[in-house]
Structure 1
């Protein structure tokens, strides 16, 4: 169950980075709404990371959480913010995914 919480926490990390990027693009009330989304996602993400780290090794939990956030944020950037998707970038995202899976496999 804590692995599920950790994955959800990583997805909320993607949410808070996406909200932060959108807030940067907006002005006025729209920017404020995106910042509110950022704070909500940040709070949920940190809370779930805390819960997951109660039974999972902290180094593993943090590594998986940041990995999910990094991969998800890069993919959101490519799909929604027209960031580059060159071969090297995709290669290193793939190695990061492999590392996340590896951490899960070697954790007890």
Structure 2
């Protein structure tokens, strides 16, 4: 259960990062509210997961999911550049996260 919560929390990290960008410095109320709610839920999920998962592994997986998710949303939906080196770097992050889970 802890791993499921950790993955969902990583996805929520992506949501709050995108909402933070869309809030334009907290000048837009709805994205600002989405940011606050998803940030709190993401942190609560991380805290819950860390009861069973070592902090080094849990935090790295959480950040990895959030970073890769945010980069993918940026590339696929927000018009950020998509090129082979960026994709390869994201694959390296994914490999690291998978490695942490496998060797947990």
TM range (shorter): over 0.9
Aligned residue in 2 for 1:74: 71
| Root mean square deviation, CA, Å | 1.3
Aligned residue in 1 for 2:86: 89
Gaps of 5+ in 1: none
TM-score, normalised to structure 2, is 0.96
Q: Distance in 2 between matches of 1:101 and 1:24?
A: 33
Aligned residue in 2 for 1:10: 10
Q: Greater helix share, 1 or 2?
A: 1
Instruction: Give the paired residue count.
Output: 104
1:1-108 alignment, distance < 5 Å: 1-24=1-24, 31-107=28-104
TM-score, normalised to structure 1, is 0.92
Gaps of 5+ in 2: none
How big is the shift at 1:22? 1.1
How big is the shift at 1:21? 1.2
